[in-house]
Amino acid sequence: MKLVAFNNLSNSSVRPIHFRVGALIDDDNVADLTPSILPLGLTPIELLRCYDLSTDFTTPASEAVFSGNLPVLSKNDVKLEAPIPRPGKIICIGLNYRNHAIESGMEIPKSPIIFSKFVTSVAAPNEPIGIPTGSEQTDYEAELAVVIGRRGKNIPVAEAMKHVFGYTNFNDISARDFQFTDGQWQRGKSCDTFAPFGEFVATKDEIVDPHNLRIQFRLNGKTMQDSTTAELIFRIPELIEFLSRSITLEPGDIIATGTPPGVGFARKPPVFLQDGDLCEVEIEGLGVLSNPVKQNV
């Protein structure tokens, strides 16, 4: 199933608190799952936070989609939100592709490098990525993101994939000037709109091997990153084990697994995002995440 979140407020500049949950049934149409999966008046956010997404959600949702009885809307008539609009945590892994660590002039990490983004950095598919005032070095990073489906602590490698709900395209937008002059990475990674992801979460049954997916980033149609998740240094089960030793993972949490080589700041000459640019992240089986770039939004 390809899970999306959406609302009908296509012209609203205010991010809605409530949204609807749907499944893409083809490239152009969304089946509205909201009425069929919201028992006892739970909001979709409460549902995503409280339930075991892998079983309590996916099974009835899939059955509802296959029943053919759901209301179907044209994708053109809705505004897609990020498929998890308010994740509890956005955890990012730094330098998790060998050749990206090398291009960044950093050592190959011996254990995962962890940082986070504030939830207010989430951006929807097609929503403009805002270059913040004062940054002249805003950069892109195509990443495979994992969505957690089952709460857990101290999860062993052998159990880790049971906690995965699915996968989505993620763009780890980074203001390099903030990142490298602040002394730590938080502001440079957490500006508003610096965490676009989607368009959908593919439930894990859709992806045979998440460690063998082509991953690409295009800037204005030009391919800037082209690699495979086979190159990940720390794979998904290792990341889940490492993180959950000290952090409780909850349904809806996002883990962005790191970016391959080809980012803008490491190029000669460097390439940074400009007003009017178009960013596209494409991972095999996960569609395309597309976001324009705007100055100071």
Which residues lie closer than 8 Å to 13 by C-beta, 6 or more apart? none
Residue whose C-beta lies closest to Mg ion = 172
Minimum gap (Å) between residue 32 Cβ and Mg ion:
33
Write the DSSP symbol of residue 257: -
Read out DSSP for 110-154? Answer: SS-EEEEE-GGGEE-TTPPEEEPTT-S-EE--EEEEEEE-S-BSS
Minimum gap (Å) between residue 92 Cβ and Mg ion:
5
Pairing between β-strand 174-175 and β-strand 138-139 as defined by DSSP bridges? antiparallel
First to last CA, the chain: 33
List the one residue out of 235, 286, 40 whose CA is nearest residue 243: 235
> Which CB sits closer to Mg ion, 56 or 231?
231
Minimum gap (Å) between residue 146 Cβ and Mg ion:
14
Q: What would the two tokens of residue 14 be?
A: 């205010």
Minimum gap (Å) between residue 223 Cβ and Mg ion:
18
Minimum gap (Å) between residue 225 Cβ and Mg ion:
11
> Which CB sits closer to Mg ion, 36 or 259?
259
> Which CB sits closer to Mg ion, 35 or 270?
270
Minimum gap (Å) between residue 160 Cβ and Mg ion:
21
Residues that bind Mg ion (CB under 5 A): 141, 172, 259
Q: Is 254 helix (H, G, I), strand (E, B) or coil?
A: strand
Amino acid present at 185: W
Minimum gap (Å) between residue 141 Cβ and Mg ion:
4
> Which CB sits closer to Mg ion, 172 or 241?
172
Minimum gap (Å) between residue 254 Cβ and Mg ion:
12
Are 149 and 160 in contact, with CB atoms under 8 Å apart?
Answer: no
Peptide bond into 128 cis (omega under 30): no
Are 179 and 136 in contact, with CB atoms under 8 Å apart?
Answer: no
> Which CB sits closer to Mg ion, 142 or 148?
142
> Which CB sits closer to Mg ion, 36 or 121?
121
Residue environment code for 104-118, b if the CB has 16+ CB neighbours within 10 A, otherwise e:
eeeeebeebbebbbe
Radius of gyration of the chain (CA): 18
